[in-house]
Amino acid sequence: MSDTHYQNQQQQHAPTKYFSSSLFSVFLKIFSDPFKIFFQNKHFFFPILLFFTLPLAFLLFSLSFSSRPLKRHILHLESVAFLSSTGFEARHVLKESREESLSLLRLKLLFSFPSSIFSLLSFISTVHVTSLSPPHHPSFLSTATALKLAWKRVAVTSLCSYVLFLLYIQFPQLFAAAFRNHPRISLPILIIGAGFEVYLMGVLSLGLVVSALEEKFGWDAFRVGSDLMAGRRVCWWWVTCMLVAVSGWIGNRFEKLTEGENSVKSGGWTVVMGWETVGWLWLYGVLIIWSFIVTTVFYSDCKNRFKGVNHSPNGTDLTDFTV
């Protein structure tokens, strides 16, 4: 009787133990394999970092710094309009707010084109180098070929991801605004919305890797990426949360660093590049490449799991790459 009871307990706890060990092994692979891949291919990743990723990081930091006064002025004008005692004054302030918003939009458009180019080059190059494992070896020629073959797919998929993400983020804000007088309802809406926003970011990033390595793009790439996540959605959600948290922390540190009077010069366009600022810039560039490597490793692991392929020592055996 006792032996039967013990066996039943073992059978009940077995799925939990298997799930926890499997989850731990996935986390270990996701965070250990990128180190191996990075140092094995450092002669490729350092040029990518220097010529593509650091300029991208500099543009993103410059946009954040340059748009900060405009954003604050717009928020100030909106608050003034909300508290205005007369409709005429409110309309006048809102008109000025719209003009400032157009200036902010023009500023973002000015930075968007070069940022998109560097982002595209950095992403495809990093994904291509990461996806290859022995007996395949990356080269500058194969990387150039990958850029030539994949850039259209990745560009279309990036545009689709931007539109989808832009549409989604409106819904939690609208629902929270509708229940703003009921904080017990609006707060959970914002929390759930933020959690799903991170999940959506994970799906979109995986879809971008699919578009870079397979003959798929747009919504089809997102569908494939979502299917590959089956059984590991929670794991990838946590990994995405970590990457988003580190990115936000770096952005917050840079914002605090450039708050002082010495960091602003004529026109609000010049950032004093002190050593500390340069350090955060390099760290953000490394984070960008690191996130691309991690996403590609996760894609490769999921792909191999579905195909039943034995993993290579570095965990990135991808036998069906197309670029």
Tokens 């960091």 belong to 263
| Least confident interval from 237-246, 257-266, 308-317 | 308-317
Half-sphere exposure of 172 (CA within 13 A, CB side): 15
Pull the structure tokens for residue 49.
């970092």
Residue 3 pLDDT more than 90? no
pLDDT > 90 in the chain, percent = 29
Rounded-to-integer distance, Cα 308 and Cα 96, Å:
60
Rounded-to-integer distance, Cα 293 and Cα 38, Å:
8
On whether the pTM is more than 0.85, the answer is no
Judged on CB neighbours under 10 Å (0-12, 13-18, 19+), 2 is exposed
* pLDDT interval class at 191 (50, 70, 90): confident
* pLDDT interval class at 79 (50, 70, 90): confident
- Average pLDDT, integer, range 145-169: 90
The DSSP annotation for 96-115 comes to HHHHHHHHHHHHHHHHHHHH
- Average pLDDT, integer, range 67-86: 72
Return the beta strands (E) in the chain as ranges.
none
| Least confident interval from 86-90, 130-134, 203-207 | 86-90
Q: Is the dihedral of CA 24, 30, 31, 37 positive or negative?
A: positive
Query: How many other C-beta atoms lie within 10 A of the C-beta of residue 119?
Result: 21
Judged on CB neighbours under 10 Å (0-12, 13-18, 19+), 128 is buried
Pull the structure tokens for residue 107.
């500023």
Residue 121 pLDDT more than 90? yes
